[in-house]
Amino acid sequence: MKHSVSQLAICGGPPAFPSKLPVGQLNLPAREDFITIFSKLFERRYYTNHGPLAQQLEEKLQQLFSVRNVVLMTNATIALSLACKALPFKKGDRIIVPAFTFAATVQALTWAGLEPIFCEVAPRSHLITPKTVEPLVLLPGVKGILGVHLWGNGCEVDELQQLATAHGLTVFYDAAHAVGCSHNGRPFGGFGTCEIFSFHATKIFNTAEGGCITTNNDNLAEKLRNLRSSYGRKKNIHIEISGNGRFSEAQAALGLLGLEKLTEYCTSNRKRMNAYMEGLHEIPGIRLLQPSPNEKHNCQYVVLEVDEKAFGLNRDQLVQVLETENILARRYFVPGMHRCPPYDTLFPQYADTLPLTDTLCKQVMQVPSGEIVTDDAIREICELIRFIHIHAREVRERL
Ligand code: T4K
């Protein structure tokens, strides 16, 4: 615990934590389970090409997501790109997408020759809504909506589907953050024409790299299996160009182990989220995004908004102070995709049309969560944030 500003690491004091506390889940299976499953994998000497573990994992995930088809992919970036290729779009079609998202969401459209139409999000939820999408649906060339269930919270899927159906659009979702979450009491996986999940190491369900596409449309699933590679397809479908989105047996082994502990991980993340809520309570200028109490939630991201005026420092300054204390808070997403190359020069018309997105890009950050973050660490992080607020003027002067 710091008692004076001069004890902060920015002033030369020792950091609050001796080693770095990253954001990200970084879950690990038990060593014995890892050895058992990998020994069998090595005995079989069958390492990829939709092997037995990948097949088993697809079946288990179909149950988890309550969906007819799970098509495993190398990672969510590849999955998004292949989904954009498999859906009934043609080159140059325009797709409505939030600018407040990870680069891969928008870049997948570009990989498939589609054009993003950047859409505003709602300030409290950070999600696109029928209200933010509606003004864009009649623009020439619009053929789809790519929603993002950011932070594991669901877009208004029924209302967006109605809007899409009324205008002949295809709606699909980037659900990279949503493994283990539900929306309106239903697990993610069956919303829209398809949904895309990430199993990156920083996510709650971790296959080191990994991801999948879920869909109840059997024809789309078969097209995706053909696009992924010839292995694992059920019939040969003619496609313009195939790719390699294969999911290795090593990834599947990690996935099968992680799946067994998913509920446990969600429960301990929820406890950590509650500890942050308690610790950050009533710090002026700090808002913690809370998952709906009525839904299942993975609580893998602890997301804060920093209001500079009320807190005394802006988000970037707070991140800087925390980083020097070995708390690797992360800024998401900076800048918004409408301001990133190549989109800033290709589509300069969006520069001044997304004020809420621009505000969130300046205010949103994540703080460490995941297995390695103890209750004591959370208490210390929260106390430090409170201390920084109380001494904001002095801290600003020392930066
Ligand atoms: N759609 C959305 C909405 C997404 O957020 C993402 C990815 C995607 C699509 C695409 O999914 P993938 O193609 O990745 O499956 C991270 C992740 O790399 C990325 O998966 C994630 N979203 C994004 C929001 O965050 P970075 O660059 O912020 O974090 P990264 O990977 O550098 O790691 C975070 C911290 O964890 C660092 O302090 C280092 C530490 N770390 C990381 C890894 C991987 C470790 O200590 N060990 C590790 O193995 O992107």
Question: In this predicted structure, what is the pLDDT of residue 284?
Answer: 98
How does 324-345 read in b/e, with b if 16+ C-beta sit within 10 Å? bbbbbbbbbbeebbbbeeebee
Q: What is the pLDDT, as a whole number, of residue 297?
A: 97
HSE-up of 206 (CA within 13 Å, CB side)? 18
Mutate to test the pocket of ligand 1, among 188, 202, 366 (most ligand atoms within 8 A of CB): 202
Nearest CA to ligand 1 atom 46: 22
Give the mean pLDDT of 343-348. 97
What pLDDT does residue 293 have?
85
Say whether pLDDT at 327 is over 90: yes
- pLDDT reading at 17 higher than 90: yes
Query: Residue 258 in contact with residue 33, Cβ under 8 Å?
Result: no
Contacts of 75 (CB under 8 A, 6+ apart): 198, 199, 200, 209, 210, 211
- Tell me, in angstroms, the distance from the centre of ligand 1 to residue 202's CA: 5
81's tokens: 């790109």
pLDDT of residue 193: 98
> What is the CB < 6 Å shell around ligand 1?
22-24, 26, 75-77, 101-102, 104-105, 148, 174, 176-177, 198, 200-202, 211, 328, 330
CA atoms within 13 A on the CB side of 296: 17
The string of pLDDT tens digits covering residues 88-131 is 999 999 999 999 999 999 999 999 999 999 999 999 999 999 99
Average pLDDT, the chain: 97
Q: Is the pLDDT of residue 316 over 90?
A: yes
Residue 242: pLDDT band with limits 50, 70, 90: confident
Distance 175 CA to ligand 1 centre (A): 14
Residue 346: partners with Cβ closer than 8 Å, 6 or more residues away = none
- Ligand 1 mutation target, pool 80, 128, 198, most atoms within 8 A of CB: 198
pLDDT confidence of 241, banded at 50, 70, 90? confident
Residues sharing a CB contact under 8 Å with residue 364, sequence separation 6 or more, in sequence order: 126, 303, 304, 305, 315, 331, 332, 333
Q: Residue 128 in contact with residue 99, Cβ under 8 Å?
A: no
Report the C-alpha gap between 158 and 227 in whole angstroms: 29
Tell me how far apart the 2 most distant CA atoms of the chain are, in Å: 69
Alpha-carbon distance 252 to 23, whole Å?
Answer: 24
What are residue 170's DSSP bridge partners? 144
What's the pLDDT at 86?
A: 97
**pLDDT tens across 254-284, in order?**
999 999 999 999 999 999 999 999 999 999 9
Model pTM above 0.95: yes
Within its chain, how far is the Cα of 215 from the centroid?
A: 19
Question: Could you give the percent of the chain with pLDDT greater than 70?
Answer: 100
| pLDDT (average), residues 385-395 | 97
Burial 203-224 (b: 16+ CB within 10 A, else e): bbbbbebbbbbbbbeeebbbbb
Instruction: Characterize the bridge pairing of strands 186-187 and 170-174.
Output: unpaired
Tokens of 325: 């204390």
pLDDT at 62: 98
What pLDDT is stored for residue 1 in this prediction? 82
Amino acid at 302: V
Residue with CA closest to ligand 1 atom 30: 202
Q: What is the dihedral of CA 180, 184, 188, 189, to 10 degrees?
A: 140
- Whether the CB-CB separation of 351 and 338 falls below 8 Å is answered with yes
